Chain A
Amino acid sequence: MGKVIVITSGKGGVGKTTTTANIGTGLAALGQKVCLVDTDIGLRNLDVVMGLENRIVYDLLHVVEGQCRLRQALIKDKQFGDRLVLLPAPQTREKDAVTPEQMKELMKELREEYDFVLLDSPAGIEHGFKNAVAGADHAIVVTTPEIAAVRDADRIIGLLEAAELYDPQLIINRVRPGMVRRGDMMSIGDIDDILAIEILGVVPDDQDIIVSTNRGEPVVTNPKSRAGQAYRNIARRLLGEEVPLMNLEERKVMHWFKRLLSGEAQ
């Protein structure tokens, strides 16, 4: 029986889709069977982040309406094949085309087959959010060290509780150590004080994310990237390993220097 995890945030643009793609790919790299589900109906995105946009035939709606079999709609990853599949969101229909009950049924089926089912939730707290949490048994909340994102994360944590998804875990994304050092960005400790939920991971702001998204290859497969390292750590933690949080205080110069020494500088 697999684990069904919803990845959510409340606020848009904090990196839910990137997080889903990278955790999923990271888990597959560790030998897990993973299914990614894009629940952002009408605004399909996970497919492009995974670089699978050209392979889509059927989507989530076709599956729940019985127009195709589940297996037909699942798109195999370029690198991991059967071990990492994507169920894309419908692009054209209205948002309430899928119901929470249908999602629950679908998750029952998927958790039989996969070790991890990761649901990429849409922004907001409306229908799409309710669909995404309906079949989940665990939640990951993504936030950034910005006041609006943390506020929305707090709200989402309350709503998750109301939906009986207790003990969500937090990922703090796009941390800029230099700004934290200068006192111009809330630190991990500051956010922890406010939200007071378990921290699953901290991901530094990293240009490699944009480069890898451009290519349609999740950054977690890039051994040189710091964000990639952060996502690899998160995947290992999800498997129960104790991995300390990344030391973001290491100065960029040092990082560059290390790269230089290992002959990897650009």
Chain B
Amino acid sequence: MFEFLSKLFGGFEGSKNRAKERLRLVLVHDRASLSPGLVEALKEELIEVITKYMEIDEEGLEVNFDKSDDSVALIANIPVKSVKRGMGEAPGAKGSPRVGGSKGARRGRNTGGMNGHLH
């Protein structure tokens, strides 16, 4: 209600929202670079999950944080060697499984982007 009234009278928006947003972005970056263990653990778990569905080049797997003006993205580059047969009956999935987009699998290289809202 208060916010509504403030906006009504003069398009007011407090600077704290700007501070919060900037802080959120900077912390995603800080926290990721502060703990190299985090990225390693993430890699290992990614490999574990993805190898259920396809054979990948574990050595060539890259995981990085990419920071642009108003967002931080987690970029994973996962070279796919081959996709397992019988994907339609993947464990626990009813329909056809969607892993990082089929486009990537066909190209043999898959770049999945994911917004990193860590906190």
Interface magnitude class on chain A? 10 to 19
- Count of A-B contacts with CB under 8 A? 45
Tell me which of B14, B23, B31 contacts A158 (CB under 8 A): B31
The reply to whether A193 and B23 form a contact with Cβ atoms under 8 Å apart is no
For the complex, would chain B's binding face be called helix, strand, loop or mixed by DSSP majority? helix
Tell me which of A151, A183, A185, A196 contacts B23 (CB under 8 A): A151
The reply to whether A151 and B27 form a contact with Cβ atoms under 8 Å apart is yes
With a cutoff of 8 Å between Cβ atoms, the chain B residues found around residue A151 in the complex are: 23, 26-27, 30
10 interchain pairs (CB within 8 A)?
A147-B22, A151-B26, A151-B27, A154-B31, A158-B31, A180-B16, A183-B6, A183-B13, A185-B16, A196-B119
CA distance in complex: A206, B12 (Å): 27
For the complex, would chain A's binding face be called helix, strand, loop or mixed by DSSP majority? helix
User: Which residue numbers of B lie inside 8 Å of A, CB to CB?
Assistant: 3, 6, 12-17, 19-20, 22-24, 26-27, 30-31, 34-35, 119
Asked whether any CB of chain B lies closer than 8 Å to the CB of A101, the reply is: no
Tell me which of A147, A154, A183 contacts B14 (CB under 8 A): A183
CA distance in complex: A71, B100 (Å): 66
CA distance in complex: A103, B82 (Å): 57
The reply to whether B14 and A190 form a contact with Cβ atoms under 8 Å apart is no
The reply to whether A182 and B26 form a contact with Cβ atoms under 8 Å apart is no
Known A154-B30, A154-B31, A155-B30: A190·B24 in contact at CB below 8 Å: no
CA distance in complex: A151, B33 (Å): 14
With a cutoff of 8 Å between Cβ atoms, the chain A residues found around residue B23 in the complex are: 147, 150-151, 194
CA distance in complex: A151, B24 (Å): 9
The reply to whether B34 and A184 form a contact with Cβ atoms under 8 Å apart is no
Q: Give the shortest distance, in Å, between B82 (CB) and chain A (any CB).
A: 40
Tell me which of A183, A184, A190, A194 contacts B27 (CB under 8 A): A194
Asked whether any CB of chain B lies closer than 8 Å to the CB of A186, the reply is: yes
Name the interface residues of A96-151: CB closer than 8 Å to any CB of B. 146-147, 150-151
Q: Give the shortest distance, in Å, between B8 (CB) and chain A (any CB).
A: 14
Interface centre among A155, A183, A185, A194, by most chain B C-beta atoms within 10 angstroms, is: A183
With a cutoff of 8 Å between Cβ atoms, the chain B residues found around residue A190 in the complex are: 16, 20
CA distance in complex: A180, B24 (Å): 18
The reply to whether B15 and A184 form a contact with Cβ atoms under 8 Å apart is yes
The reply to whether B35 and A158 form a contact with Cβ atoms under 8 Å apart is yes
Given A183-B15, A190-B20, 10 new contacts (CB under 8 A): A147-B19, A147-B23, A147-B26, A155-B30, A158-B31, A158-B34, A183-B3, A183-B16, A184-B14, A190-B16
With a cutoff of 8 Å between Cβ atoms, the chain A residues found around residue B27 in the complex are: 151, 154, 194
CA distance in complex: A180, B8 (Å): 19
CA distance in complex: A180, B22 (Å): 17
Q: Give the shortest distance, in Å, between A198 (CB) and chain B (any CB).
A: 16
